[in-house]
Amino acid sequence: MNNLAADHGSWLGQNGSKGPDFFALTAWSSVHLMADEANRQFFFGPDCTLCSDSRVTVQRNGLMTP
């Protein structure tokens, strides 16, 4: 994921707590460290939440498709 509005010094704080980086980091941690199935929607599938977010660009490989 590439946050299009971020720069080198403010990638995490871009758009405050509503920025894509905050929820993506939290959701990724929940999915991969706690086996949280509900947050898989942000990353997996053809219509994943981050895939349709205009604030970011997403590059995926075959591992991110169900």
> Residue 24: inside a domain, yes or no?
yes
Q: How many domains does the chain have?
A: 1
Domain that holds residue 33: 13-59
Residue 22 belongs to a domain? yes
Q: Is residue 7 part of a domain?
A: no
Average pLDDT of every residue of the chain: 78
Q: Once rounded to an integer, what is the mean pLDDT over residues 19-34?
A: 85
Instruction: Indicate yes or no: pTM above 0.75.
Output: no
Residue 3 lies in a domain: no
Residue 66 lies in a domain: no
Q: Are 15 and 55 in contact (CB under 8 A)?
A: yes
Asked whether residue 2 is domain-assigned, the answer is no
Q: What's the mean pLDDT in 25-42?
A: 90
Read off the pLDDT of each residue in 8-24 and give the average, rounded to a whole number: 68
The most distant pair of C-alpha atoms in the chain lies apart, rounded to whole Å, by 34
CB 27 within 8 A of CB 43: yes
* Long-range Cβ contacts of 57-63 (<8 Å, 24+ apart): 57/1, 57/2, 57/4, 58/1, 58/2, 59/2
pLDDT confidence bin for 23, thresholds 50/70/90: confident
Q: Output DSSP code: residue 23.
A: H
Q: What is the mean pLDDT of residues 26-44?
A: 90
Confidence of residue 35 (pLDDT cuts 50, 70, 90): very high
